[in-house]
C-alpha cells in the first residue's frame, strides 16, 4: 500500500504545533495548540484519517491568573512508565517584556488513568519544569534512550542573540531535570534568522543507529523551516560535540504548491506499523494581517517520508492540499 498521498491534507484545520502519539491500545492520540490558546484538548482515533472527525475532549484549562493563565502553547502527550504526561508552555501575561519577548515557561500535567480522555479531573498539575535559567522557554519534548529519560526544549539565553536555542538534559522524573542543560543548537545560519532568530519545536526520531532531532527556525510565516541535528545512539547524548547540525533546512516552504511555513513537527508511524509519518503545521497563503502568531490558519498535515541510502531521513516537500 502506498502511503505517500493516502491522507487528506490538511488533516485537521486550525491546529498548530501538532503532536500525534500511537499508543499500545491501538489509538492515535492527538493534541495541538488551539487558536484561542486557552486550553489543552486531546482527540483519539484508530486511524490517522479518523482524527479529522474525532471529538476532542478538553483535559485542562488555563488558570484565571498566574503563570499558567495566558497563551497555552504546543502541548505534547507522552506515555512514560504507565502514566500519561502532557508538556506545554504558558505565560502569566500576553504582554512582551523589555526585549520584546513573550514570558512563557514550561509545565507538566499527569494522568494515571488508562484512558487520558476520561475526565479533566483525572489530570493533576506537576507544575513548572525548571531549568537553570529563569527565561522564556517552550516546546518541550522527551524521549528514552539507553534506559534514561531525556528532555529537549527551546529557551532564551540572555547572553546569546535571538529568541531561543535548543537544549537537552537528563530527567530525574518526567517533570524534574537531573542534569544541567546542554545547548545543542542556536540560530546561526541565514535560513534560521529570517524575521526572528529562532530554534524551537524539537522532535526526535530514532532510526538506523542514530537519533535525528528536527526543529523549526525563523519567524512563523513563510520563512519558517525545519532543520536537523544528528547523533549516534551509542555516545554521550549530553556532549554537544557528538551532535552534528545540517547547514541547510531539511523541510521548507514550497511556493509552487502554496505550502508556506511548514514546521513544529512530530513523528508517528502509519497504520501498517512500518511507514514513518511526519506531522507538522502549514499555511497555504502568505498575506497575513498582523502578527502571524494570531493568524489561526496553521493547519495540521501528515505525510509519509522515506530514508536515504546513508540512513538519514528524506522528508521531500510539503504535500499539497487535497481535500477539495
Residue 289 lies in a domain: yes
Residue 75 lies in a domain: yes
Give percent of the chain with pLDDT exceeding 70. Answer: 98
Across the range 244-249, mean pLDDT stands at 98
**Residue 235 pLDDT exceeds 80:** yes
Q: What is the DSSP string of 185-226?
A: E-S-SGGG-SSS-BEEEEEEEEETTEEEEEEEES-SSTT-EE
Residue 320 lies in a domain: no
Q: Which one is predicted more confidently, 124 or 296?
A: 124
* Number of domains observed in the structure of the chain: 1
Across the range 164-177, mean pLDDT stands at 98
Q: pLDDT-derived band of residue 293, with 50, 70 and 90 as boundaries?
A: confident
Q: Which amino acids are annotated catalytic?
A: 17, 200
Residue with cell 490558519: 297
As a whole number of angstroms, the distance between CA 24 and CA 273 comes to: 11
Residue 5 lies in a domain: no
CB atoms within 10 A of CB 89: 26
Q: What is the DSSP string of 137-172?
A: EEEEEEEEETTEEEEEEEE--TTSSSSBEEEEEEEE
Closest Cα to residue 112, out of 82, 89, 90, 153?
82
Q: pLDDT-derived band of residue 5, with 50, 70 and 90 as boundaries?
A: low
CATH number at residue 248: 2.115.10.20
Cis status of the peptide bond prior to 63, with omega within 30 of 0: no
Residue 259 lies in a domain: yes
Phi and psi angles of residue 242, each rounded to the nearest 5 degrees, phi first: -80, -15
Judge contact between 179 and 173, C-beta under 8 A.
no
Give the model's pLDDT for residue 324.
Answer: 52
User: By residue range, what is the domain housing residue 150?
Assistant: 16-314
Give the model's pLDDT for residue 112.
Answer: 97
Closest Cα to residue 17, out of 222, 215, 227, 305?
215
Residue 187 lies in a domain: yes
Mean pLDDT taken over the chain? 95
- Residue-wise pLDDT for 189-234, tens only, equals 999 999 999 999 999 999 999 999 999 999 999 999 999 999 999 9
Across the range 281-290, mean pLDDT stands at 89
Residue 125 lies in a domain: yes
Residue 278 lies in a domain: yes
Amino acid at each position: 500500500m502506498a502511503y505517500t498521498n493516502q491522507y487528506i491534507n490538511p488533516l485537521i484545520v486550525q491546529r498548530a504545533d501538532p503532536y500525534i502519539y500511537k499508543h499500545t491500545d491501538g489509538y492515535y492520540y492527538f493534541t495541538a495548540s488551539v487558536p484561542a490558546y486557552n486550553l489543552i484538548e486531546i482527540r483519539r482515533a484508530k486511524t490517522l484519517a479518523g482524527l479529522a472527525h474525532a471529538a476532542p475532549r478538553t483535559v485542562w484549562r488555563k488558570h484565571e491568573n498566574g503563570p499558567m493563565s495566558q497563551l497555552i502553547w504546543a502541548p505534547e502527550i507522552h506515555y512514560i512508565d504507565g502514566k500519561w504526561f502532557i508538556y506545554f508552555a504558558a505565560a502569566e501575561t500576553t504582554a512582551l517584556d523589555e526585549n520584546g519577548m513573550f514570558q512563557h515557561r514550561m509545565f507538566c500535567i499527569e494522568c494515571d488513568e488508562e484512558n487520558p480522555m476520561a475526565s479533566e479531573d483525572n489530570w493533576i498539575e506537576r507544575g513548572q519544569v525548571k531549568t537553570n535559567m529563569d527565561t522564556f522557554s517552550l516546546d518541550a519534548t522527551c524521549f528514552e534512550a539507553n534506559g534514561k529519560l531525556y528532555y529537549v526544549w527551546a529557551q532564551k539565553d540572555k547572553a546569546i542573540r535571538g529568541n531561543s536555542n535548543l537544549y537537552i538534559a537528563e530527567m530525574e522524573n518526567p517533570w524534574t531535570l537531573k542534569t544541567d542543560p546542554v545547548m545543542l543548537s542556536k540560530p546561526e545560519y541565514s535560513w534560521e534568522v529570517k524575521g526572528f532568530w529562532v530554534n524551537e519545536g524539537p522532535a526526535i526520531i530514532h532510526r538506523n543507529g542514530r537519533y535525528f532531532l528536527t526543529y523549526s527556525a525563523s519567524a512563523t510565516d513563510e520563512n519558517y523551516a525545519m532543520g536537523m541535528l544528528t547523533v549516534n545512539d551509542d555516545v554521550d547524548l549530553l556532549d554537544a560535540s557528538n551532535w552534528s547540525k545540517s547547514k541547510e533546512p531539511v523541510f521548507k516552504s514550497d511556493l509552487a504548491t502554496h505550502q508556506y511555513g511548514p514546521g513544529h513537527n512530530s513523528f508517528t508511524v502509519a497504520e501498517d506499523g512500518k511507514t514513518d509519518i511526519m506531522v507538522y503545521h502549514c499555511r497555504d497563503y502568505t498575506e497575513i494581517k498582523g502578527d502571524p502568531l494570531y493568524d489561526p490558519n496553521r493547519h495540521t498535515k501528515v505525510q509519509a517520508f522515506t530514508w536515504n541510502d546513508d540512513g538519514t531521513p528524506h522528508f521531500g516537500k510539503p504535500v499539497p492540499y487535497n481535500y477539495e
